[in-house]
Amino acid sequence: MTEATKYTFKDFASDQEVRWCPGCDDYVILRSMQKALPEMGVKKEDVVFISGIGCSSRFPYYIDSYGMHSIHGRAPAIASGVKLANPDLSVWVITGDGDSLAIGGNHFIHVLRRNLDLNIILFNNEIYGLTKGQFSPTSLIGQKTKTSPYGNTQPPFHPGELALGAQARFFARIGGNTPKEMTQLFIEAEKFKGTSLIEVLQNCVIFNDGCFTQYTDKAVREDKQLHLEHGKPMIFGKERDKGLVLNGLKLEVVTIGENGVTESDLLVHDAKESDSTLHSMLVRLEYPLATGIIRAVEELTFEAREEALTNEVKANSKFSKVDDLFLSGETYEVE
C-alpha cells in the first residue's frame, strides 16, 4: 500500500443504513471489520465481500468495497470463483450457522479442503434469525424454537470440529462482544495465507438471547474462556491461576499452586502444529471455552498450486494462440 492510501474506518462504511436489530452483535462485528480493514494494507478496491442469505449476509451492503449478497449457502463457491479469477484480491466470506452448515454445508467443507486464500467469518448464533426463529444445525439438544416447540432433538454440529475434519488450516473463535480482540483476529486472518475460518459467537437478541452468556458475559468471561496465544501457556481465570494440562488422552483443568502445579506444568499453545489432535480437543472443550487462534498451519494455497501448474504448462506448450491449436494434430486439405 502506498502512503497516499491510508484509510480510516470511515472509508469502509457504505452509505447504506444498517438494518440489524438494536443490540445485535452484528454491529460489533461490522465495526470491528471497518476498524481492521485500514490496518491490513490492502487497497479498498481490492477488497471483496461475498455473503449468502441470513441476517449476517446483509453485511456486504454496509462495507464500502466490492461486494455481493448472493444466494443461500453458496458464498464460499462464489468467493472461490472470485479468488481464482483474480488472486490479488482480498476476499471475505460472510456467513451464518444456517447458511454455511445446513444449506451450504457442501461448499463449506470443500472450500476448507481446497485451501484458497479466503477469509470466512461464521456468525454463529445457534438459531435461524432472518426466518424468525427455527432451530439451526448448531442449536442445542432440547432447545425450544419455532420448529422445536418441545425441544430440539437434532444433535448440533460444532463448527470447529467440522472445520478441522475438513482440513481447515486456520480456525479461530471469538466472543461477539469483544471488539478489540475481534479486530486483531480479522487482521491475523487476512495475514494468513490460506482459508481462515473465524467463528464468532454472536448473540441474537430476538430469537436466542443469551445463548453464549455463560461464556461471554463480562463478569464470567475471564473465568470461562481460555484465550489462546501461540507460544504462550494455556492459562486463564481472573486470577490467572487456572491452566490446562494433558492427563492421558484428555485435557484437564488445574490450579496453579495446588498439588504442586506450577505454570511450567501447563500446556503451551502451538497453533502451528500440523497434527490437529490437540487443536480438536481444544475445539471440543466446554470448560474453559477456547477462543483466539486455535489452529494456523500454512501450506500451499489452491490458487498457488494452480498458478505454478499453469506456468509450467505455459512454459512447455507449443500453443500461444488458439489458431495454433486448431491447426494442430490431424488436419487435411480439400483442394
Partner 1 sequence: MTTAKIKKQQEILEAVVIRFVGDSGDGMQLTGTQFSDTSAMFGNDIATFPNYPAEIRAPQGSLYGVSGFQVHIGSIEISTPGEDLDLLVCMNPAALKTNLSALKAGHTIIIDTDSFTKKNLEKALYASNPLEDGSLNNYRVIEVAMTSLTKEALKDMGLDNKSITRSKNMFALGMVYWMYDRDMNHTLEFFENKFKKNPLIAEANSKVLKTGFYFAETLELIPNSFTISPSKMPKGTYRIINGNQATAWGFLAAAEKSGLELFLGSYPITPASDILHELVKHKHFGVKAFQAEDEIAGITSSIGASFAGDFAITTTSGPGLALKGEAVGLAMILELPLVIVNVQRGGPSTGLPTKTEQSDLLQAMYGRNGESPLIVIAASTPADCFDWAYEAARLTLEHMTPVLLLTDGYIANGSEPWKIKSINEMPPIKHKQISGGDPEKWNVYDRDAVTLAREWAIPGTKGFEHRVGGLEKDKTTGNVSYVPENHEYMTHIRAEKVERVQNSIPDLKSDFNDEGDLLVVGWGGTFGSLHSATKQLSDEGLKIGHVHFNYINPLPKNTEAIFSKFKKIVVCELNNGQLASILRSKFNDIKFSQHNKMQGLPFGVSELTEKFKTLIK
Helix spans in 15-130 (H): 26-36, 75-85, 97-98, 105-114
The whole-angstrom separation of Cα 68 and Cα 64 is 12
Q: Is 295 in the site for partner 1 (CB under 8 A)?
A: no
Among residues 161, 241, 273, 306, the one that binds partner 1 under rule CB under 8 A? 306
Query: Residue 128 gets which letter from DSSP?
Result: B
Phi, psi of 334 (to 5 degrees): -110, 120
How many Cβ atoms sit within 10 Å of the Cβ of residue 134? Answer: 16
Task: Quote the CA–CA distance of 245 and 52 in Å, as a whole number.
Answer: 40
String marking each residue 87-106 x if it binds partner 1 according to CB under 8 A: -xx----------------x
* Identity of residue 284: R
Q: Which of residues 5-64 bind partner 1 (CB under 8 A)?
A: 14, 16, 43-48, 50, 53, 60-61, 64
Nearer Cβ to partner 1, position 67 or 194?
67
β partners of residue 37: none
Q: Least separation, in Å, of the C-beta of 218 and partner 1?
A: 34
Residue type, 153: T
Residue with cell 452468556: 213
Kindly tell me which of 284 and 314 has the beta carbon lying closer to partner 1: 314
C-alpha cell at 149: 416447540
Identify which of residues 241 and 306 has a Cβ nearer to partner 1 in the complex: 306
Nearer to partner 1, 83 or 224 (CB): 83
- Give the integer Cα–Cα distance in Å for 30 and 60: 9
Shortest spacing between CB 1 and partner 1, in angstroms: 13
Question: Please, which residue, 93 or 201, has the CB nearer to partner 1?
Answer: 93
Out of 21, 110, 154, 286, which residue is the one contacting partner 1 (CB under 8 A)? 110
Provide the binding-site residues for partner 1, judged by CB under 8 A.
Answer: 14, 16, 43-48, 50, 53, 60-61, 64-71, 74, 77-86, 88-89, 106-107, 110, 306, 309-310, 313-314, 317, 319-323, 325-327, 329-335
